[in-house]
């Protein structure tokens, strides 16, 4: 069989495991919908207490839905090789005649399918509980921004996953560090780029994260009622991030795998 | 003798917990790690205040001080809840040491207590660093006047509030660990649920009475509500007549959660042993 076909089949098989595993465990699905609602609810009420316009509540909902994807990239993608190492599956992946990226791609595809269901749940909760209204005039723009944001995020997740081939707890702690600091820097709950209240140095730092552009674009097309023309910058930057990170993941995974083999840490548990 | 043995076990467990938390990094990296997460949370809330106030055309610095202190007090809540909520999974599935802990003479309780105490100590590091950097950013760089007077703080009341709050949170941790002993499905999410409820209803960033009826009534039975209020009252006002009502309620809650925590953990332990699920793993 052609190598490409083998890798496609491996990716589909890995995606199937992810989808089946998630559907078999509804507690996870429910948790991923409900947990973000606590902070989302808190921040919406805070904006309302401060007398901010209603669109700000919509910004919080958009950020809250993307939290589901970001945590999935961190714990379901980047950290996945750590779990596989801990339960003894990593060796099996490495002796199989498939690319590491096919496995990661399968994880990403499986996650996206289950995550989209959760996003609908969060948006529905937001509309029903907090009376937030969406203002979509260009569904194609929504689809483009959403797809590109996910492509860049999961490519970034592939880059991070390479760290787990070498590290244990250090990478785990790094993952933890990429939760609240990224929520802040990417502007999950408020616009960072172009906001006069936010210092320029923060705006510059936020521009280095693909999620920032994804959130900016989604806010425009989901809440502010803008079309594709107004998000051309975001689309261009997200395409560039996606390609660069996907290519980088290929090289970084190979490099870290070799390094881990040389140092004998590829299958080392409880690091 | 049994008490001495219990305390010694708890002490060594706290030391082990501290090593687990710290020995992966040099002190500077460790300090950065313990600063960044709570500091970022404070920045999120602080910037929502700044941006929301700017958009709403009104900046109430008194409310900002309220927010700032609520978020600072929440550092203990999050850290202790997450550590104790994740404890059973870590020992059972990650390190596979739960069986070994159970066959030691003092068994699991002092071990859990010690690990929770080390989380409380780590939270203190986070809290102090967050206060310093938070003050620098919001008061120094963004010009928001924090209405805190170091000479008016009631330090005795603050220490009492923190101590009673930590007791309540550790007892809550025993409840979470008890639930996780008999369940493998909730272990990754339970602490997130509980800390989320505490954040929303515990008077952290807005008074619970702004929530719809009857939702806000839940806040009256949460120890975190009285803990947050007692910490805030000790720092902002400092007068005993303002602090004491909150401290009394917090004391009552600490006693109640300790009793409930002990009962729930004992019942869960008994059930887990009867069902043979103490070391049951569940991963896919």
Cα–Cα distances (Å) from A94 to A45, A101, A109, A155, B82, in that order, read 49, 11, 20, 20, 34
Report yes or no: B246 and B230 within 8 Å, Cβ to Cβ: yes
Residues of chain B contacting A56 with CB distance shorter than 8 Å: 51-52, 55
Q: Best interface-test mutation with B: which of A22, A34, A46 has the largest number of B CBs within 10 A?
A: A46
CA angle B130, B136, B140 (to 5 degrees): 155
Looking at the predicted structure, is the pLDDT value of residue A167 above 70? yes
Looking at the predicted structure, is the pLDDT value of residue B284 above 50? no
Q: Best interface-test mutation with A: which of B19, B22, B40, B44 has the largest number of A CBs within 10 A?
A: B44
Q: Residue A268 — pLDDT band, cuts 50, 70, 90?
A: low
The number of angstroms, rounded, from the C-alpha of A50 to the middle of its chain's C-alpha atoms is 30
Which one-letter DSSP state was computed for residue A230?
Answer: G
> What gap in Å lies between CA B223 and CA B254, rounded to an integer?
7
Inter-chain touch B55–A45, beta carbons under 8 Å? no
pTM of the complete model: 0.87
Inter-chain touch B55–A179, beta carbons under 8 Å? no
pLDDT tens, position by position, A241-254: 999 999 998 898 88
Percent above pLDDT 90 for chain A: 36
Say which residue, A247 or A36, is predicted with more confidence.
A247
| A106 phi, psi to nearest 5 deg | -60, -40
> What gap in Å lies between CA B70 and CA B63, rounded to an integer?
10
Q: Residue B152 — pLDDT band, cuts 50, 70, 90?
A: confident
Inter-chain touch B205–A46, beta carbons under 8 Å? yes
Report yes or no: A20 and A12 within 8 Å, Cβ to Cβ: no
Cα–Cα distances (Å) from B186 to A33, B88, B182, in that order, read 14, 11, 10
pLDDT tens, position by position, B216-260: 899 999 999 999 999 999 998 888 888 999 999 999 999 999 999
Average pLDDT, chain B: 89
- How close A123 comes to chain B (CA, Å)? 18
Rounded to two decimals, the ipTM of the complex is: 0.86
The number of angstroms, rounded, from the C-alpha of B99 to the middle of its chain's C-alpha atoms is 27
Residues of chain A contacting B137 with CB distance shorter than 8 Å: none
The pLDDT, as a whole number, for residue A162 is: 83
pLDDT tens, position by position, B54-98: 988 888 888 999 999 999 999 999 999 999 988 898 888 878 888
Say which residue, B148 or A187, is predicted with more confidence.
A187
> What gap in Å lies between CA B253 and CA B221, rounded to an integer?
8
**Who contacts B88 (Cβ-Cβ below 8 Å, separation ≥6)?**
B98, B177, B180, B181, B187
The mean pLDDT of B192-212, rounded to a whole number, is 89
What is the three-state SS of chain B?
CHHHHHHHHHHHHHHHHHHHHHCCCCHHHHHHHHHHHHHHHHHHHHHHHHHHHHHHCCCCHHHHHHHHHHHHHHHHHHHHHHHHHHHHHHHHHHCCCHHHHHCCCCCHHHHHHHHHHHHHHHHHHHHHHHHHHHHHHHHHHCCCCCCCCCCCCCHHHHHHHHHHHHHHHHHHHHHHHHHHHHCCCCCCCHHHHHHHHHHHHCCCCCCHHHCCCCHHHHHHHCHHHHHHHHHHHHHHCCCHHHHHHHHHHHHHHHHHHHHHHHHHHHHHHHHHHHHCCCCCCCCC
**Who contacts A33 (Cβ-Cβ below 8 Å, separation ≥6)?**
A68, A118, A121, A122, A125
Least confident of A184-193, A211-220, B37-46, B206-215: B206-215
Q: Which residue of B has its CA nearest to A21?
A: B284
Specify burial of residue B69 (Cβ count, 10 A radius: 0-12, 13-18, 19+).
buried
- How close A50 comes to chain B (CA, Å)? 6
Q: For residue B144, what are its two tokens?
A: 């928001």
Q: List chain A domain ranges.
A: 3-262
Helix (H, G, I), strand (E, B) or coil at A139: helix
């Amino acid at each position: 069989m052609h190598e490409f076909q083998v890798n496609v089949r491996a990716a589909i098989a890995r995606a199937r495991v992810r989808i089946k595993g998630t559907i078999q465990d509804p507690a996870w699905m429910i948790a991923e919908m409900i947990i973000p609602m606590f902070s989302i609810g808190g921040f919406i009420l805070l904006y309302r207490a401060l007398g901010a316009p209603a669109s700000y509540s919509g910004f919080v909902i958009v950020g809250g839905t993307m939290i589901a994807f970001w945590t999935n990239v961190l714990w379901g993608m980047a950290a996945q090789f750590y779990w596989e190492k801990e339960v003894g599956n990593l060796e099996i992946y490495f002796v199989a005649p498939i690319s590491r990226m096919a496995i990661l791609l399968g994880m990403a595809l499986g996650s996206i399918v289950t995550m989209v269901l959760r996003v609908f749940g969060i948006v529905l909760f937001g509309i029903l509980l907090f009376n937030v209204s969406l203002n979509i005039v260009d569904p194609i723009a929504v689809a483009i921004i959403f797809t590109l944001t996910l492509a860049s995020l999961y490519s970034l997740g592939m880059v991070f996953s390479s760290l787990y081939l070498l590290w244990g707890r250090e990478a785990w702690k790094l993952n933890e560090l990429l939760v609240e600091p990224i929520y802040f820097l990417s502007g999950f709950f408020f616009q960072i780029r172009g906001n006069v209240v936010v210092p320029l140095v923060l705006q510059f730092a936020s521009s280095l994260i693909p999620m920032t552009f994804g959130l900016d674009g989604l806010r425009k097309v989901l809440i502010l009622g803008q079309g594709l023309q107004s998000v051309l910058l975001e689309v261009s930057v997200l395409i560039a991030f996606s390609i660069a990170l996907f290519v980088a993941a290929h090289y970084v995974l190979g490099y870290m795998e070799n390094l881990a083999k040389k140092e004998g840490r590829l299958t080392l548990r409880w690091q | 003798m049994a008490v001495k043995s219990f305390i010694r076990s708890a002490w060594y467990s706290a030391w082990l917990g501290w090593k687990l938390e710290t020995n992966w990094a040099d002190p500077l990296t460790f300090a950065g790690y313990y600063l960044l997460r709570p500091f970022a949370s404070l920045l999120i809330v602080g910037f929502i205040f700044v941006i929301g106030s700017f958009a709403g055309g009104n900046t109430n610095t008194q409310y900002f001080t309220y927010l700032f202190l609520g978020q600072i007090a929440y550092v203990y809540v999050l850290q202790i809840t997450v550590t104790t909520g994740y404890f059973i999974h870590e020992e059972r599935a990650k390190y596979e040491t739960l069986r070994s802990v159970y066959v030691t003479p003092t068994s699991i309780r002092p071990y859990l207590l010690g690990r929770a105490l080390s989380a409380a100590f780590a939270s203190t590091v986070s809290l102090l660093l967050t206060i310093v950097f938070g003050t620098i950013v919001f008061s120094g760089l963004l010009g928001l006047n924090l209405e805190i007077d170091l000479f008016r703080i009631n330090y005795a009341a603050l220490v009492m509030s923190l101590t009673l709050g930590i007791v309540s949170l550790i007892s809550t941790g025993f409840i979470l660990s008890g639930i996780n002993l008999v369940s493998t499905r909730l272990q990754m999410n339970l602490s997130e649920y509980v800390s989320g409820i505490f954040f929303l209803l515990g008077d952290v960033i807005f008074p619970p009475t702004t929530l719809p009826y009857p939702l806000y009534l839940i806040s009256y039975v949460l120890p975190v509500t009285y803990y947050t209020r007692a910490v805030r009252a000790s720092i902002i006002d400092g007068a005993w007549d303002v602090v004491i009502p909150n401290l009394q309620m917090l004391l009552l809650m600490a006693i109640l959660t300790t009793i409930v925590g002990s009962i729930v953990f004992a019942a869960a332990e008994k059930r887990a042993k009867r069902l043979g699920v103490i070391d049951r793993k569940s991963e896919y």
